[in-house]
């Protein structure tokens, strides 16, 4: 009975972990800096792509009140999203994006710019 309970628990936890498939988008400053290298700008956000929810998560440190965000195709440069999000935490719905590769640019009111790449399926 213990083996059956353990297997059920293992598969149940595995299912819930797979149900929220997210990964961090590596963002860089167009001038050549990368996320995680020092010195890191105080307003640099963490950016995630939640594949299951079809959204981009902008997790800012709260150093600024907002970010200007654009998402455009990496192949034809068409801008699909142009919006302003909170500098602390916000999400962007990308469920209407066609399958493909995209560039996300994030501009801070302090003049810092960040960009990263992600793919929709």
pLDDT single digits (tens) 42-52: 999 999 999 99
> How many other CB atoms are there within 10 angstroms of residue 67's CB atom?
23
pLDDT of 17 strictly over 50 = no
Looking at the domain assignment, is residue 67 inside a domain? yes
The tens digit of pLDDT for each residue in 40-79 reads 899 999 999 999 999 999 999 999 999 999 999 999 999 9
In this structure, what CATH number is given to the domain that contains residue 86? 2.60.40.3080
The tens digit of pLDDT for each residue in 83-120 reads 999 999 999 999 999 999 999 999 999 999 999 999 99
Which residue range forms the structural domain that includes residue 91?
22-120
Give the CA count within 13 Å in the CB-facing half-sphere of 95: 5
Looking at the domain assignment, is residue 8 inside a domain? no
Give the CA count within 13 Å in the CB-facing half-sphere of 56: 31
Rg of the chain taking only CA atoms, in angstroms: 17
Looking at the domain assignment, is residue 12 inside a domain? no
> How many other CB atoms are there within 10 angstroms of residue 112's CB atom?
19
Between 38 and 21, the higher pLDDT residue: 21
Give the CA count within 13 Å in the CB-facing half-sphere of 92: 24
Looking at the domain assignment, is residue 3 inside a domain? no
Q: Give me the number of domains the chain comprises.
A: 1
Between 106 and 36, the higher pLDDT residue: 106
47, 58 contact by CB (below 8 A): yes
């Amino acid at each position: 009975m213990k083996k059956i309970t353990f297997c059920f628990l293992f598969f149940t936890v595995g299912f819930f972990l797979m149900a929220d498939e997210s990964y961090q988008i590596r963002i860089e400053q167009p001038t050549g800096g990368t996320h995680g290298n020092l010195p890191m700008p105080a307003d640099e956000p963490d950016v995630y792509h939640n594949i299951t929810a079809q959204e981009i998560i902008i997790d800012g440190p709260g150093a600024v009140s907002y970010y200007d965000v654009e998402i455009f195709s990496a192949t034809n440069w068409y801008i699909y999203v142009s919006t302003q999000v909170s500098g602390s935490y916000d999400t962007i719905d990308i469920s209407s994006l066609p399958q493909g590769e995209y560039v996300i640019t994030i501009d801070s009111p302090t003049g810092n710019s960040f960009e990263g790449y992600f793919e929709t399926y």
